[in-house]
């Protein structure tokens, strides 16, 4: 494979990042352009140009600019900001490679082949060259390479204190651990590097076993939990609540232990997960009464917490975006199903994008979440998260004031991640429609870690105990549903998993849950087999074909073919591809 074209492609990506908005915030906690972005650009370009390796997108040890750049606290702070900037494209992978892959959503346009359809319909052949999968690999390794470059040059902070050095190291190691956690969940055996690689080193680096990767993730996150503060503080003593904190590191470490305890590793780490998740909930005061941190107290506040002005108030950690060209959340427009301009929602042109629909059984469950977990009669109580999660315009009867069954696919989309002008007006936020010029402008932030995620994982750990019921019922009652009591251990776990599905819809967690619990084969086959077209009730034979594609090996995506071909024989492709 020719490396020069790939290198040029990467350089253009770097220039785009540097010339737009790097992940930094001003006093109002909004995006701002880097005052010294030219320094960052010079550094990154030199790092990349001196290495011919497209293999892991890593800079070379021999780069001369590293010695010139990593000298002052201000430069190091800019470098750390550059690491955070690598988070920007990641929301699309949570949506396309997890949410769409799960039984939460469905790609129903059979005649239109696209990269999203490949992910949703388990097209094993096309996934080898799928651009979303290939970009996912490249973008996560850019994040890792940026973190490694900073960590390898920590000695340059000669003008600041050891506390600041340790803080910056902890943040970089959290971000590296986060990146490897997603990579190992998406791809399994991937190359593992904690240093800046030379060209020769990168071409010789083989895949590591998943256990080795998890070992490194734990090492990074343990360092982060022990050395991060309640709020990140830079070399000038300024607090940065938008950056990672100790509680976020503990939450992520708890999730890592939970994932390891399930399929495919089945490691004995559940007790460690429980301990770490408990620490998070104790710090948020979530085990005794109503949480006092990161919590929306009622459904009205819950609906408002998805608006970008909240600036990390409700999330343990999030990706923040800007309302400017190419600085917005790339996932947001995809949650809107229509492929055409829709002036009633926004003036921006929404052309391009897949035909994605929220799975019909999930739509129905939002009406019937108080169903008896043993399969008995259901009630008519409506989950009050419905209107803030799924567009309800097509099935709310204004004359009767009642919700009726039957959602038209054409109007079925995830309003949770679509700050359209009607939604903002209803929630009391000013109209920003004039600022949304096209699909690349959406400023809606994307949660990577939430307190509700931690609460439900903890409930899964402790089962039908007082603490387990407390965590589960806090989330249920806020959504206007009744409390649950007296469930068997199995019934309780069913209720917790159902609650995770509805509370975290759209956030890319469902697929990882289904893999961890090893239910993905049956769940996804059922999704395809049960699908019926709302227009005429028909069932296409294609959906049976999709169901037959789902095998036990497809809990992973393939290693991108472009990576396999960089150095023949270095990688072993994942089973099923």
For 475, phi then psi, to 5°, come to: -75, -40
Partners of 396 in beta bridges: 403
Q: Domain spans of the chain?
A: 1-228+553-577
Q: Residue 60's pLDDT is what? A: 34
Q: Residue 347's pLDDT is what? A: 80
Nearest alpha carbon to residue 172 among 80, 298, 255, 90: 80
CB 251 within 8 A of CB 293: no
390 in helix, strand or coil? strand
CB 445 within 8 A of CB 320: yes
Per-residue pLDDT of the chain (577 residues; tens, 9 = 90+): 333 333 333 333 333 333 333 333 333 333 333 322 322 332 333 333 323 333 343 333 333 345 567 778 888 899 999 999 999 999 999 999 999 999 999 876 554 568 998 999 999 999 999 999 999 999 999 999 999 999 998 876 666 678 888 999 999 999 999 999 999 999 999 999 999 998 889 889 999 999 999 999 999 999 999 999 988 888 888 888 889 999 999 999 999 999 999 999 999 999 999 999 999 999 999 998 999 999 999 999 999 999 999 888 999 999 999 999 999 999 988 877 554 445 677 887 765 556 677 887 787 777 664 444 444 443 445 789 988 998 765 454 556 555 454 444 455 678 899 888 888 999 999 999 999 988 899 999 999 999 999 999 999 999 999 999 999 999 999 999 889 999 999 999 999 999 999 999 999 999 999 999 999 999 999 999 887 655 455 666 778 889 999 999 999 999 999 999 988 889 999 999 9
Q: CA-to-CA distance for 402 and 95, rounded, in angstroms?
A: 31
Q: CA-to-CA distance for 475 and 495, rounded, in angstroms?
A: 12
If you ran DSSP here, which 8-state letter would residue 31 be given? Answer: B
Q: Residue 348's pLDDT is what? A: 78
Q: CA-to-CA distance for 8 and 15, rounded, in angstroms?
A: 10
Tell me how crowded residue 375 is: count the other CB atoms within 10 A of its CB.
7
Q: Residue 439's pLDDT is what? A: 85
Write out the DSSP string of 468-535.
HHHHHHHHHHHTT-----S--HHHHHHHHHHHHHHHTTTTT-HHHHHHHTT-HHHHHHHHHHH---TT
219 contact partners, CB below 8 Å, separation of at least 6? 177
If you ran DSSP here, which 8-state letter would residue 99 be given? Answer: I
Nearest alpha carbon to residue 326 among 15, 10, 5, 6: 15
CATH number of 1-228+553-577: 1.25.40.890
């Amino acid at each position: 494979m020719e490396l020069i074209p790939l290198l040029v492609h990467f350089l253009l990506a770097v220039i785009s990042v540097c010339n737009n908005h790097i992940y930094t915030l001003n006093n109002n906690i909004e995006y701002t352009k880097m005052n010294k972005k030219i320094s960052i650009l010079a550094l990154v370009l030199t790092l990349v140009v001196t290495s011919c390796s497209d293999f892991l997108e890593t800079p070379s040890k021999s780069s001369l600019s590293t010695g010139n750049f990593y000298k002052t606290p201000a430069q190091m702070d800019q470098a750390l900001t550059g690491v955070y900037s690598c988070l920007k494209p990641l929301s699309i992978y949570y949506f396309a490679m997890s949410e769409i892959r799960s039984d939460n959503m469905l790609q129903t346009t059979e005649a239109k082949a696209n990269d999203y359809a490949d992910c949703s319909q388990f097209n094993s052949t096309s996934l080898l060259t799928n651009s979303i999968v290939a970009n996912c690999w490249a973008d996560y390794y850019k994040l890792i390479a940026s973190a490694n470059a900073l960590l390898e040059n920590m000695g340059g902070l000669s003008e600041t204190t050891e506390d600041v050095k340790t803080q910056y190291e902890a943040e970089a190691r959290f971000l590296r651990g986060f990146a490897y956690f997603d990579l190992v969940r998406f791809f399994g055996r991937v190359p593992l590097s904690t240093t800046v690689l030379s060209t020769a080193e990168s071409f010789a680096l083989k895949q590591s076993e998943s256990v080795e990767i998890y070992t490194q993730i734990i090492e990074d996150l343990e360092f982060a939990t022990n050395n991060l503060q309640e709020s990140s503080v830079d070399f000038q003593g300024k607090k940065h609540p938008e950056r990672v904190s100790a509680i976020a590191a503990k939450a992520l470490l708890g999730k890592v232990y939970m994932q390891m305890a399930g399929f495919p590793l089945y490691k004995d780490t559940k007790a460690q997960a429980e301990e770490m998740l408990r620490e998070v909930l104790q710090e948020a005061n979530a085990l005794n009464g109503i949480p006092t941190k990161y919590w929306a107290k009622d459904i009205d506040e819950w609906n408002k917490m998805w608006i970008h002005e909240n600036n990390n108030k409700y999330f343990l950690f999030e990706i923040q975006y800007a309302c400017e060209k190419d600085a917005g959340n790339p996932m947001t427009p995809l949650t809107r199903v229509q492929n055409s301009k829709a002036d009633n929602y926004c003036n921006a042109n929404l052309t391009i994008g897949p035909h994605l629909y929220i799975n019909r059984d999930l739509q129905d469950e939002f009406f019937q979440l108080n169903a008896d977990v043993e399969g008995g009669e259901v009630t008519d109580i409506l989950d009050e998260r419905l209107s803030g999660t799924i567009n309800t315009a097509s099935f709310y009867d204004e004359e009767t004031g009642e919700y009726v069954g039957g959602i038209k696919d054409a109007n079925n989309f995830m309003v949770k991640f679509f700050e359209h002008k009607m939604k903002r007006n209803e929630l009391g936020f000013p109209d920003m429609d004039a600022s949304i010029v096209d699909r690349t402008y959406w400023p809606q932030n994307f949660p990577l870690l939430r307190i509700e995620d931690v609460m439900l994982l903890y409930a899964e750990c402790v089962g039908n105990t007082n603490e387990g019921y407390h965590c589960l019922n806090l989330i249920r009652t806020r959504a206007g549903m009744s409390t649950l009591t007296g469930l068997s251990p199995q019934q309780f776990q069913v209720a917790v998993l159902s609650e995770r599905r509805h509370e975290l819809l759209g956030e890319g967690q469902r697929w990882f849950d289904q893999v961890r619990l090893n239910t993905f084969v049956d769940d996804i086959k059922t999704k395809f087999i049960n699908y019926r077209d709302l227009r005429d009730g028909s069932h296409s034979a294609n959906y049976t074909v999709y169901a037959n594609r789902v095998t036990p090996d497809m809990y992973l995506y393939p290693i991108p073919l472009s990576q396999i071909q960089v150095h023949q024989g270095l990688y072993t492709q994942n089973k099923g591809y």
